[in-house]
Amino acid sequence: MNILVAGGGPAGLYFSYLAKRRHPQWRIRVLEQNPADATFGFGVVFSDRALEFLREDDAETYGLITPAMETWTDLTVVHRGTPIVIDGIGFAAIGRLKLLQLLQQQAASVGVVPEFERALSSPQELEGYDLVVAADGANSAVRRMRDFGTTVTPLTNKFAWFGTTKLFSTLTQTFVENEHDTFNAHHYRHSSAMSTFIFECDAATWARAGFERMSEAETLRYGERLFAGTLEGHPLVSNKSIWRNFPNVRNRRWSVGNVVLTGDALRTAHFSIGSGTRLAMEDAIALERALHEEGGDVPAALAAFEAGRRPIVEKLVAAADASGAWYDRFPEHMRLSPREFAWSYIQRSGRIDPERLRKTSPRFIEG
């Protein structure tokens, strides 16, 4: 087979590695529009045991990634200055650039080396391949070259993605108020030297604070003042840390002809549930497996890929949508007491009910 993979993120790199490992004779070309060492954002977070899907099928990659991850077993919600610890809700995180470097290493081990700083700009560039895998993110250029029935619905909250040298003991959600209204920060360590620090607010608060007129550096300084108690003197660090709205990407069709969508090009899942990278890597596994089981019959493989993955993806996306909707209304929930607020927070996706909490988080329930 002759395969073009657009995008050198987790979905594209991992699919390329799996496909070439099983089928060394296949020709796989990976194009990535950014430089090899470019990454935006800081850490990638996984829900507890999210990489367990790798353990059986790909122990080598599992063993490569997991030692580089920061892990913890509790989650903390801070409201009105009161930290509420929810035990048993574990997460793991890794720097996005570190993850990409490890996946590049795996791809290179089977002879796949991405061509960096190569952007696709015309439909003609997709011709001549047996299969085109669009793994080029939420703003996919390949997706715009075919009619997948795409909708992009931005959520209403504004958020900006920073880092900090302050190392946090757990994944923490800190909710604060000032003269402009209410804000939230998602923060967690993703390496031994750095944490991710995302803060957000609703559109009305964003306008009152005057962020539209602020530079990236001014936004950073505002965040340092706003979360001074949380940062404890540590600075925020920016990396193209611009304000944005989270885009809910959906597609009626997963493939058109021999072009198939994967990862964020296929659908996005709100960052608050920590499943985006997991979904991308699971897409890669499912697509490679379908191609193998269908003997390289591309139409049959793409049909099998969608039939097997769609129910799983839709379940996770529904949880992500519910979580994203909760964040879009978090100022309303801040009227609750700290413990009631934490109770609302932990049930926001609909995936954790009181019965499950009794098993996973007995100390929180007892409190």
In a domain, 261, yes or no: yes
In a domain, 311, yes or no: yes
The pLDDT tens digits of the residues spanning 22-56 come to 999 999 999 999 998 877 779 999 877 777 878 88
pLDDT band for position 274 (cuts 50, 70, 90): confident
pLDDT band for position 136 (cuts 50, 70, 90): very high
- Among candidate residues 336, 289, 357, 232, the one with its CA nearest the CA of residue 18: 289
Mean pLDDT to the nearest integer, 275-291 = 95
Q: Are 220 and 162 in contact (CB under 8 A)?
A: yes
**Is the per-residue pLDDT at 114 higher than 80?**
yes
Percent above pLDDT 70 for the chain: 100
- Write out the two tokens for 27: 């020709």
In a domain, 115, yes or no: yes
**Is the per-residue pLDDT at 91 higher than 80?**
yes
In a domain, 301, yes or no: yes
Residue 90: alpha-carbon gap to chain centroid: 17
pLDDT band for position 350 (cuts 50, 70, 90): confident
The pLDDT tens digits of the residues spanning 320-343 come to 999 999 999 999 999 999 999 999
**Is the per-residue pLDDT at 120 higher than 90?**
yes
- Supply the range of the domain harboring residue 129: 2-40+96-153+247-326
Residue 362 burial (CB count, 10 A): 12
pLDDT band for position 231 (cuts 50, 70, 90): very high
CATH code assigned at 106: 3.50.50.60
In a domain, 143, yes or no: yes
Mean pLDDT to the nearest integer, 143-165 = 97
Predicted pLDDT of residue 203? 97
Q: C-alpha distances in angstroms, 192 versus 68, 100, 168, 189, 196?
A: 9, 18, 10, 7, 12
Q: C-alpha distances in angstroms, 290 versus 6, 25, 277, 302?
A: 19, 18, 20, 7
In a domain, 210, yes or no: no
Q: Are 154 and 25 in contact (CB under 8 A)?
A: no
Q: CA 38, 44, 50, 55 torsion: positive or negative?
A: positive
In a domain, 53, yes or no: no
Residue 185: alpha-carbon gap to chain centroid: 16
Lowest-pLDDT choice from 35-44, 85-94, 357-366: 35-44
**Is the per-residue pLDDT at 351 higher than 90?**
no
Q: Is 110 exposed, middle or buried (0-12, 13-18, 19+ CB in 10 A)?
A: middle
Mean pLDDT to the nearest integer, 70-82 = 96
**Is the per-residue pLDDT at 210 higher than 90?**
yes
Q: Are 309 and 301 in contact (CB under 8 A)?
A: no
Question: Whole-angstrom distance between the N-terminal and C-terminal Cα of the chain?
Answer: 58
In a domain, 353, yes or no: no
Look at residue 27 and give its three-state secondary structure.
strand
What average pLDDT does the chain have?
Answer: 95
The pLDDT tens digits of the residues spanning 55-73 come to 888 999 999 999 999 999 9
Predicted pLDDT of residue 79? 98
Q: How many domains, in total, are found in the chain?
A: 1
